[in-house]
Structure 1
Amino acid sequence: MMALFGFGKKKETAAPCSCGCTCGKAGGAAMPEKGILVLGSGCSSCHQLYENVKAAAEKLGCAGQVEYVTDMARVASYNVMRMPALVVRGVVVSSGKVLKAEEAEELLRRSMEGRG
């Protein structure tokens, strides 16, 4: 009877994946630490930030690392309350604002240098 309510059962815990989360997938659901994510819902503001971040990343030589994330479960994992948001190396560096390409470039440069 106790097992019916979850008592007496061992809780299953997922093994951490390579990115440090507990999704259990090799390679992880989240972007690697060196990745650049634009979190958004698919609206025009989110697309504009994505384009500006791609342009900034291209100038810095890391354009291939930019990913546009619209999966709300994945967006929620970053505890972002306002979109669009920019995540660099797993850290939210901007939220609720469409950055110009120059602003995004400066944020990326500082984040990549570790001054975030």
Structure 2
Amino acid sequence: MAKVRTSYHCGLDAAVDVVGGKWKPLILWALHDGTHRFGELKRHVAGVSEKMLIQQLRELEADGVVHREVYREVPPRVEYSLTELGEALNTALLPLGEWGAAYTEQILANKRANSVV
């Protein structure tokens, strides 16, 4: 069981705790345009395994940024959406995405130039 944090050193520490990792920002971004079912999210977040997507969604739900709605029907249907907190987090991540888009080529060039074969 993961250790529950009781304090943070600063706001960035809290934010990185919630959004840290490779997949969480991509999941949040996939949800920016509305509610999605699990299969839709898996297609939007290319490369994520089913196990990892489930784990990351559970963590985001526990942190209060993703809402999971279970519909009691046959077959069962589960939908994921952003909470108000999740929408605010996505808004905060927008400049980071814009920075990445603006400097993608330079980042890739630097990685190629510094790669060890």
TM-score by length of 1: 0.31
Query: Bigger radius of gyration, 1 or 2?
Result: 1
Q: TM-score, normalised by structure 2?
A: 0.31
